[in-house]
Amino acid sequence: MSEVKEVQSAIAGYIGKVLRESFGKGPISVHTTWAPPYFCVHIRDFLVPMEQILIQKNEGRKVEELREMLMGVLYADIKAELEAVTGEEILDIYTNWNLHHRSGVIFGTIDTPLEQESGTADKWQEEVNSVVKKAGENKEGLSAVVDTKPLNHRVVLIERTSVLTPVERQLIEEGHAGEIEAAKTTLVKSIIEETNLLALMPREVIDPFIIWDLDKDINYLIFICSSKESEAK
């Protein structure tokens, strides 16, 4: 456990440093969850003055595009540093931002086998899987494979696979990936808002994130939960 904590601390320190050097201002806090085959870095209170001005002018999409471009440049360095710190191969790295919360996540997958879980999934996990699967069928017209995994007491991951219809795959091949991702993000947000999904979580959700890998036909929903025991459900 101490080794995991050291890894998490090293990653958090590195990410905070990289963001500060690249954006001119770093986040107030960085919390890392290292849970092979996944990792998640939650970034809080991260918004530079120019970004704040753009958001006030309803130009949040520009902020996201600029961050996406800059993070794309940084991915190789981040991957190399994480591999040096952990000794594990990093397969994929993604980012998602919640600008109005001034927060974000750097999420990724690790080339290591998933540890076999003892017993069956908890009841709340099964209920979440059922709600998300049914809502996806109703809103997206597809039957995705849904798997809910608590990475620790603060982070819940919902992994959906087979999330694209044949029409969507064709549109992506024709160069419309951006439009497809935006439309599907809106649908997933409605699933979160219109179902009892958040109420099923074991703790209060303080920050939800939505990540897509359309090439691999995967959608990740990441829920950052309260760390306070008194707020646990």
The answer for residues whose C-beta is within 8 angstroms of residue 188's C-beta and 6 or more apart is 210, 219, 221
Cβ-contact 43, 106 below 8 angstroms: yes
pTM for this predicted structure: 0.92
The reported pLDDT for the residue numbered 232 is 43
Domain segments of the chain: what residues? 2-110, 123-227
Q: Are strands 155-161 and 29-35 parallel, antiparallel or unpaired?
A: unpaired
Residue 44's DSSP bridge partners are 29
Could you identify the residue written with the tokens 């303080």?
A: 206
The reported pLDDT for the residue numbered 79 is 98
Q: Which residues of 198-225 are buried (b: 16+ CB within 10 A; e: fewer)?
A: eebbebebbbbbbbbebeebbbbbbbbb
**Helices 2-23 and 60-86, packing angle to 10 deg:** 140
Is omega for the bond preceding 27 within 30 degrees of 0, making it cis? Answer: no
Tens-digit pLDDT profile for the chain (233 aa)?
A: 569 999 999 999 999 999 999 999 999 999 999 999 999 999 999 999 999 999 999 999 999 999 999 999 999 999 999 999 999 999 999 999 999 999 999 999 999 876 655 556 799 999 999 999 999 999 888 889 999 999 999 999 999 999 999 999 999 999 999 999 999 999 999 999 999 999 999 999 999 999 999 999 999 999 999 987 534 44
Cβ-contact 39, 14 below 8 angstroms: no
SS (H, E, C) the chain: CHHHHHHHHHHHHHHHHHHHHHHCCCCCEEEEEEECCEEEEEEECCCCHHHHHHHHCCCHHHHHHHHHHHHHHHHHHHHHHHHHHHCCCEEEEEEEEEHHHCEEEEEEEECCCCCCCCCCCCHHHHHHHHHHHHHHHHHHCCCCEEEEEECCCCEEEEEEECCCCHHHHHHHHCCCHHHHHHHHHHHHHHHHHHCCHHHHCCECEEEEEEEEECCCCEEEEEEEECCCHHHEC
Top-level class of domain 123-227: alpha beta
The answer for residues whose C-beta is within 8 angstroms of residue 95's C-beta and 6 or more apart is 67, 68, 71, 104, 105, 106, 107, 211
